[in-house]
Structure 1
Amino acid sequence: MKRLLIIGTGGFAREVYWHAQNSIGYGTEFEIKGFLEGTLPLEPEKYFLLPAKVYENVTSYEVQKDDVFVIALANSQVKNEIANIITEKGGHFINLIHKTALVAPNAILGEDLILCPYTIVTCDTTIGSHVMFNLYSSIGHDSIVGDYTSIMCYVDIAGNVKIGTHNFWGNCSLAIPGSQIGDDVIVGAGAVILKKIEDNQTVVGIPAREVHKNKVV
């Protein structure tokens, strides 16, 4: 049986610990080993909040043969950095799909996908690697979500939407059918995307409009 290390020590990592125990394969294909710090250590006084053992930082941890990983972080650039570190060490990622999630049998899924409770992935969709869908979010038919993207709660991605890599979508945001969103885009909470959004933008409002040009590190 594989032993899961949840990368991250914040609030979402604690939620993922709970979700994992109600995900497909728990107790038969994997068990939870504990938490692994990302690139930013947790303040020592907050360790008591974590319900399992915390291991070393990703940069110093030695991957064991039965280890598997998920990245429980929302920052897309940090996820990218951590994924590279773990991959270079020979580590492998798994998908955490909650038992209440609905996933079409012909959906194409990458690795290190976290589907939280009551998420919906419909037919002919493609989701990249190191992507998270938080509670009650959905993606419509023929849509694409790029690598390292974080989708927060109650996000509605309609059909035939194309989303690039390294996106962050705030709570209750949505994209109408046929929208195209570039790489490194931040979508503010409640924003409604009606058209094409170029790379490296922060957009807010209804309809979503650029308020900031993002600097990509």
Structure 2
Amino acid sequence: MSQRLGIIGAGGHGKVVAEVAERVGWDDVVFFDSRYEAGDRRHGHWPLVAIPEDAGAHPCDGYFVAIGNSRSRQQWSEWLVSRALPLVSLVDPSAVVSAYAIIESGVLVAAGAVINVDSHLAQGVIVNTRACVDHDCRISPYAHVCPATALAGSVVVGAHSWIGIGSQVKQGIHIGDDVMVGAGATVVSDIDDKLTVVGTPARSR
């Protein structure tokens, strides 16, 4: 039986999500996006339809929010949950995920990522391509661990934080909410909420 996944958000990240979805068995993928109103009917290889105004429009077996902006991702995730529409997680078959990790709803674990034992990914988290989340990490809601990033053991990442591509975080570090860690940074000390840090070692900008 065909299984339809509705993806909200037709950007480049959405294309990555769609391919992961197909690799894990969703054989009918459709995008919901406002671009439909501008006349677009496809997003790359997949059909594009108008964002549903009610739960009955374009029914799907599951839904995923593929929006990079964490606040928008949260807003749409809560919209789905409030209508009792199934918000699913997607884990690429090439990812290595511990049987003892916890993955909440709306999470993407992309190709080549590693999630080690007793780590916890909260709702709406993105662990992107080839990122590594070591043992006992806590990734808070709607945070994004970018491609090729490495978190050592027992790292805490706050809600809506962005851990930039290729960055490294020392074991036991606590990163606050709404933090931006620049690409390639090396984080060796705790970071307070709402800071942007860059460099090696990472410092507030």
Secondary structure at the counterpart of residue 18 of structure 2: helix
Give the CA deviation at 1:187.
1.1
For the 8 Å contact 1:9–1:50, the answer to whether it is kept is: no
- Contact 2:156/2:173 (<8 A) preserved: yes
Within 2, Cα distance between the matches of 1:208 and 1:13?
30
What is the match of residue 155 of structure 1?
A: 149
Runs of 5+ in structure 2 lacking a partner? none
From 157, 174, 191, the counterpart of 2:185: 191
In the TM superposition, what is the alpha-carbon distance from 1:191 to its structure 2 partner?
1.1
Where do 1:125-136 residues align within 5 Å?
125-136=119-130
Scaled by the length of structure 1, the TM-score of the pair is 0.86
Taking a change above 3 Å as real, the CA distance of residues 42 and 182 of structure 1, as seen in their structure-2 partners, is: farther
Evaluate the alpha carbon distance shift between residue 90 and residue 119 of structure 1 in structure 2; reply closer, same or farther with a 3 A threshold: same
Spell out, residue by residue over 1:180-206, the C-alpha distance to the aligned partner (whole angstroms, 9 max, x if none).
Answer: 001111111111111110111111111
**Which residue of 1 is the match for residue 72 of structure 2?**
78
Quote how far apart the aligned CAs of 1:89 are: 2.0
Measured at CA, do residues 154 and 67 of structure 1 come closer, stay the same or move farther in structure 2, by a change above 3 Å?
Answer: same
Mapped partners of 2:161, 2:140: distance in 1: 8
- Unaligned runs of 5+ residues in structure 1 are 212-217
Q: Percent identity?
A: 27
Alignment of 1:3 onto 2:7 = no
Select which of 28, 38, 61 maps to 1:32. Answer: 28
TM-score normalised over the length of structure 2 = 0.91
Matches of 2:59 and 2:75 in 1, distance apart? 22
Runs of 4+ in structure 1 displaced over 6 angstroms?
A: none
Q: CA RMSD in A?
A: 2.0
Tell whether the 8 Å contact from 1:94 to 1:112 is kept in structure 2 after alignment: yes
Aligned residues: 203
